[in-house]
Structure 1
Amino acid sequence: MIDFKRQGERVEEEIISMRRHLHENPELSEEEFETSQFIQRKLDEYGIPYKKGYAKTGVLGIIKGGKPGGVVALRADIDALPIHEKTESSYVSKKEGVMHACGHDAHTSMLLGTGKLLNEQKADIKGTILLVFQPAEENAPTGGSQPMMDDGIFDEYKPDVIFGQHVWPDLPKGQIGIRDGAMMGASDRFIVTINGTGGHASMPHQTNDAITMASAVVSQLQTVVSRNVDPLEAAVLTVGKIEGGYRYNVVADKVTIDGTIRTLNPEVRSRVQERFNKIVEGVTAGMGGSAEIEHIEGYPATVNTPEWAQQVRATAQNLLGEESTPVLNSSLGGEDFSRFLLKYPGAFFWLGTMPKNGQPKPLHDPYFELDEDALAGGAEMMAQVATDTLEKLEK
């Protein structure tokens, strides 16, 4: 059995250097051309064969072990976000309005470091390990995982198991977040257009105010979760944007409400959407207006295969100690890795990267930072879970 404990120290400096380079040079979803080239150069340097062009910029590294066995895939996402960075780090983003605020720079660098560690010991590996560098994770609802599969990324090597790792600022270094079953939520979007009748602000009796209707709709939507979902189930309904009106003395004839619904359970997902529609239609009709409702289905819930979630837990405890896998709740954040898990068994887990000051900023925050000292451990974790899984598949 291959042991990667403390082997991450050999690639730690390189992982941090790669992460800082990618952080300074972020690229948005479907625009990761330089990032893809950087990955390919590193794989060439490490002597790891690869294929490219999946979902335009995706790359597949292939490590064939010296012994026969199964196939395990490891995935890292590579895209950044349209966020203006506000940190004061020495490697702040050089691109105005673009930032690695979700840690994908760290994911890419860790997977490259993982590949280097694995390739150095490939003679002892029992099977094949795939390094999946996925673009467009932030491009919901399209994403990059399904286009990669549509492009045939697994046509030659079909994974028996697939794993994904995500930096997690709420967990300290040395801890791994893992759950059997639902790990992250389904992320759906809604766009509602409320139609009324406009007119002069001094004569509201001649109008049907779309802003008044929108206010009533938003207020009533708060009851969808509080009065229609079992308190022990998870659901969030958030109105994130409202647009309407022309100027201060005009009654608005149209308002657009834009938001998201997050759930874990498919039945809850369906129930929330049904109740949402009834409230919007009922409130607007009762006030003499009308509504057009568009639901955009996003990423499904990220649901871990229990067997492989338990393998992640066992690997983490062997590497980091019995206390390294605390009991935790699922997150309702959306994750494109979910579509891989619809097709293949596997697990998605979180790597503790809480900043040293103990005051983490959330993912997607312009002040987001992480503890780089945790990244070598992340590479160890990925390498170890891959080889442990191949050993289990053999048995």
Structure 2
Amino acid sequence: MKISTEIINDAIEFRRELHKNPELSTEEFETSRRIQQQLDQLGIPYTAGYAGTGVLGVIKGKHPGKIVGLRADIDALPIQEISGEPFSSEKNGVMHACGHDAHTSMLVATARVLLERTDEINGTILLIFQPAEELSPEGGSQRMMDDGVFDQYTPDVLIGQHVWPGLPAGQFGVMAGPIMGNSDKFFLRIKGSGGHASMPQDTVDAIIVANQVVSSLQTIVSRNADPMEPAVVTVGRFEGGTKHNVIAETVEIEGTIRTQSDKMKKLAKERFFEIVQNVTSAMGAEVDIEFYDGYPATVNTEKWADQLHETVFKLYGEKALPKVNPSLAGEDFSRFLQNYPGVYYWLGSSVGENQKPLHNPAFRFNEEAIPYGVEVMSQAAIDTLNTLKDI
């Protein structure tokens, strides 16, 4: 079924409206209001307030059957936009730099398409608008489930879509098994003994200790991990010292550990604590450690990944399904998939050679991807329900 130009144009307009008015995790009140307004206009029944600002819309087909849920995340990031788009963020220091504005508008457009195809729907389709996806390690998905988002309608399969600047519009990243990684984070406060720069013998230089900790942490990947097991240790913040002639008393370090398998996560976490404690102790310093188990790996159910692959193949052929590798980025959809079968996939959205990555202040989304995203998500919901009918 060809999607009307009106639906696509309205999706672009709604996406730009959301892009100009981004809201941070747990603060998506106006975004939630706008979503509810869209559902009201479409006559789609919904409930709201899950995880604070989450919304659940319900579309019932003309035939009985199972339940499929479609998810879009709705929050933005604390980033000052420099993309140059004419519809750039109007909120200082907040930006949709991860495509959640596009996810939200495409799910609304998908709902419009499904309303036109209720005679093809064998069962019920849930429209899940999830807040706080960026709020790792807490996230919004578990809170939505805790708040009873699926109490009345329990999904048999969940489907999630994410824009992907590493692929051109018209291509999709689909795979069974892990597609996104475990995303844990840590905070260290290393405490030495400061003093005059000319008399290091009377001090424990927190900067020197912290440097050794950072260097040693890299051995987790280079010398402890199986080279065939994906893992990354990144220190994203290193802050210490007060003046050129003062040996630092304290240093603060923040970072993240990304892994794909639970086995590698366990090894990395154990080695992290051993390295930090032993290096600081050996150098005469103390350390406070905060470690946060973040989002688990996003693991696709093989059956539903295969089903999604078949849907894309029938629509666009093999050229739309390049071979892709998993990412170690984190994704809160993972907690949904720990409770329900499903599939999470990537929607190609590159603007070309000037494309910046997700979470970059100059990130741009190629709106030519919107028809592909709407068509695949709507067709995937129908195809999945048809398959469930025969199980």
TM-score by length of 2: 0.98
SS in 1 for 2:346: strand
Match in the other structure for 1:144: 140
Q: 2:28 — aligned with what?
A: 32
- How many Å separate the matches in 2 of 1:28 and 1:124? 37
71, 85, 90: which one pairs with 2:67? 71
**Distance of 1:189 and 1:235 partners within structure 2:** 13
Q: C-alpha deviations, 1:300-356, integer Å up to 9, x for none?
A: 00000011011111101111112211111000100000000000000100001111x
Deviation (angstroms), 1:123:
3.2
CA distance in 2: counterparts of 1:254 and 1:367, whole angstroms: 34
The equivalent residue for 1:394 is 389
- Indicate the residue corresponding to 2:362 in structure 1: 367
Give 1:297's aligned residue. 293
Partner of 2:234: 238
CA distance in 2, matches of 1:8, 1:168: 24
* Structure 2 residue aligned with 1:320: 316
> Aligned with 2:208: secondary structure?
helix
In the alignment, structure 1 residue 340 sits paired with structure 2 residue 336: yes
User: Following the alignment from structure 1 to structure 2, what is the Cα–Cα distance between the partners of residues 283 and 39?
Assistant: 51
Q: Percent identity?
A: 56
CA–CA distance in structure 1, aligned partners of residues 276 and 36 of structure 2:
50
Q: How many angstroms does 1:7 deviate by? A: 2.0
Q: Out of 263, 266, 270, which is 1:270 matched to?
A: 266
User: Is it true that 1:211 corresponds to 2:210 in the alignment?
Assistant: no
Structure 2 unmatched ranges of 5 or more: none
Does structure 2 retain, via aligned residues, the 8 Å contact 1:8–1:380?
A: no
Distance in 1 (alpha carbons) for counterparts of 2:59 and 2:134 = 27
Distance (whole Å) between structure 2 residues aligned to residue 55 and residue 281 of structure 1:
37
Report if aligned partners of 1:9, 1:376 keep a CA contact under 8 Å in 2. Answer: no
2:188 is aligned with what amino acid?
Answer: V
Query: Mean alpha-carbon deviation: is it higher for 190-199 or for 57-66?
Result: 190-199
2:167 partner SS: coil
1:158-307 to structure 2, matched below 5 A, reads: 158-307=154-303
Question: Does the CA contact (< 8 Å) of 1:191 and 1:256 recur in 2?
Answer: yes
Q: SS where residue 166 of structure 2 aligns?
A: coil
Residues 8 and 288 of structure 1, relative CA distance in 2, 3 Å threshold? farther
Q: Deviations over 1:264-323 (max 9, x none)?
A: 100100101111111112211211222222211110000000110111111011111122
**2:49 aligned with 1:53, yes or no?**
yes
Residue in structure 2 matching 1:379, options 374, 377, 386:
374
Assess if the C-alpha contact under 8 Å between 1:234 and 1:264 holds in 2. Answer: yes
**Residue-by-residue CA offset, 1:63-122 (whole Å, 9 max, x unaligned):** 011110000000000011111110121111111111110000000000000001101222
Partners of 1:38 and 1:289 in 2: CA distance: 52
Question: Secondary structure of the equivalent of 1:71?
Answer: strand
Residue 58 of structure 1: how far off its partner (Å): 0.5
Letter in 2 for 1:181: G
Map Cα deviations across residues 26-50 of structure 1 (whole Å, 9 max, x no partner).
1111111111111111111111111
Q: Partners in 2 of 1:255 and 1:90 — Cα distance? A: 41
Report matched runs for 1:90-101 at 5 Å. Answer: 90-101=86-97
Which of these residues, 353, 358, 361, is aligned with residue 353 of structure 2?
A: 358
After the TM superposition, which of the residue ranges 76-85 and 280-289 deviates more from structure 2? 280-289
The answer to whether the 8 Å contact 2:120/2:382 transfers is no
Report the AA paired with residue 371 of structure 2: A
For this pair of structures, how many residues does the alignment match? 390
CA distance in 2, matches of 1:101, 1:369: 8
Q: Distance in 1 between matches of 2:19 and 2:30?
A: 12
Q: For residue 197 of structure 1, what is the amino acid of its counterpart?
A: S
Checking the alignment, whether the CA contact within 8 Å between 1:8 and 1:376 is kept in structure 2 is no
Give the structure 1 partner of residue 78 of structure 2: 82
What TM-score results when the alignment is normalised by the length of structure 1? 0.97
Deviation, 1:384, is: 0.4
